[in-house]
Amino acid sequence: SQKIEQNSEALNIQEGKTATLTCNYTNYSPAYLQWYRQDPGRGPVFLLLIRENEKEKRKERLKVTFDTTLKQSLFHITASQPADSATYLCALPSGGSYIPTFGRGTSLIVHP
Amino acid sequence: DTGVSQNPRHKITKRGQNVTFRCDPISEHNRLYWYRQTLGQGPEFLTYFQNEAQLEKSRLLSDRFSAERPKGSFSTLEIQRTEQGDSAMYLCASSLVGGTGDNQPQHFGDGTRLSIL
């Protein structure tokens, strides 16, 4: 089955810088990949979806890329703010099911 | 706000007791999912419904777990004879069916945190 890898170490950056988070998968390329944000004690909130035939997707300060050769998606937040501090999860279908499987998430901490 | 609602938010119970959680999805959503999340991990899929039909169950869903969605609206997740290892956050999500590859985003509730003493 598909293994999803997200950096377990927290990413610490300074306000105003661009944060880049990585999601790697191990097997076949999925039909789509999703990114979610999760705050402590809350459920995940959907941010962006990118399909296998798309290389890049943008939404305001967010940008997602999808490289099926590298089996990797990058999630960028430009002009980061302390309010962007959260855990970011990637999710993609695996094991022949359309139901997305979630990575463990990467914690982002933006320092003022 | 008519998002996904879960009750109760917190549940503390003794080992061996039965517990039941409720999820009210977004009203027009026909898919409903249950996940379990432990500290430092992402949500793990348990089961999902399309309308009232339970279409898929994870191997994580032991026979002590049962989920229902009797009228295709709200859902309940019951855990019988709870064990210490059942302590986790139980998340419910809903979505629409549609789109190529069933890639509709999921809308999550804020979960029920279960603590087994």
Q: Do B108 and A44 touch (CB under 8 A)?
A: yes
- Model confidence pLDDT, tens digit, residues B18-72: 999 999 999 989 999 999 999 999 999 999 999 999 988 988 888 999 999 998 8
Indicate whether A82 pLDDT > 80.
yes
Q: How far apart are CA B70 and CA B90, in angstroms?
A: 20
Q: How far apart are CA A88 and CA A67, in angstroms?
A: 19
> Residue B82 has what pLDDT?
97
Cβ pair B52, B32 in contact under 8 A: no
Q: How far apart are CA A22 and CA A73, in angstroms?
A: 6
Q: How far apart are CA A60 and CA B28, in angstroms?
A: 27
Q: Kindly state whether B82 is in contact with chain A, defined as any CB-CB distance less than 8 angstroms.
A: no
One-letter identity of residue B105: P
Q: Do A32 and B56 touch (CB under 8 A)?
A: no
CA distances from A13 to A44, A111, B62, B106 (A): 22, 6, 42, 29
